[in-house]
Structure 1
Amino acid sequence: MTNIKRFRSTARASQIVVSDQYIETAGLVAKCTDQGITEQTRCVLDQLEQLMLDVGANLNQITRIQIWLANMADFEEMNRVYDAWVNEIDKPARACVGSQLASPKYLIEIQATGML
């Protein structure tokens, strides 16, 4: 039987789920929605790092990152922040697409998977 643990759960979703050795986060959006793409990217990556720490993992255990941008014109600016962040860790697989996000205040959403 699979051992599933859910963390930071609300009525709608858990922020991170660990199933045996598999880690999956919810889509993470910035809490600093009054800021630009640089700050929102940093905010989301900080949240991701904290979630990984919460389950006893580190950033090198991330295997895949999915990024949604509300405006693909922000791609290069987002990449400057992301590249500096990922430079310190083993590189996960990554995809990045443009998408209408849940609120116009959100400029970026990131979801990650990994292994314990």
Structure 2
Amino acid sequence: MIERIETGTRMSKIVKHNGVAYLCGQVGEGATVAEQTRDCLSRVDALLQKAGSSRAQMLQAIIWLADMSDFAEMNAVWDAWVPEGAAPARACGEAKLARDVLKVEIIVTAAC
């Protein structure tokens, strides 16, 4: 069975299937990469909770940065947020994001 949560015309914020929650990409507000990353991860937390999961149950994270020179700044926030011993499989790359002001987007998959 597939469960879609907060579904719109273009996408669902969460899709659950076979005990796995797939979150849509999350972006955050703020002037710096650190601020945007913190806000983004707060949004991920809220969606994980809505899906019946948590950051300790993350399976995979895909992170897009508008500029890879921001890698260390983003990682400082990420490393403080991920529970010890529960780091997901992760990829990080550079991409042109949907709006010029965006510096980071994070996509998470987690067990429920």
Please indicate, yes or no, whether the TM-score normalized by the shorter chain is above 0.5. Answer: yes
* Contact 2:55 2:83 survives alignment (8 Å): no
Q: Deviations over 1:7-61 (max 9, x none)?
A: 122211011110121211111111x1x4210110001111101101001111111
2:18 corresponds to? 20
TM-score (norm 1): 0.91
* Contact 2:36 2:103 survives alignment (8 Å): yes
RMSD over equivalenced CA pairs, Å: 1.2
1:43 corresponds to? 39
State how far apart, in whole Å, the 1-side matches of 2:76 and 2:87 are: 15
| Superposed counterparts of 1:36-115, under 5 Å | 36-88=32-84, 90-115=86-111
TM-score (norm 2): 0.94
State the secondary structure of the residue aligned to 1:101: coil
Where does structure 1 differ by over 6 angstroms across 4 or more consecutive aligned residues? Answer: none
Equivalent AA in structure 1 for residue 13 of structure 2: Q
Greater shift in the superposed pair: 60-69 or 85-94? 85-94
Greater shift in the superposed pair: 7-16 or 82-91? 82-91
Q: Deviations over 1:45-78 (max 9, x none)?
A: 1110110100111111110000000011110000
> Size of the alignment, in residue pairs?
112
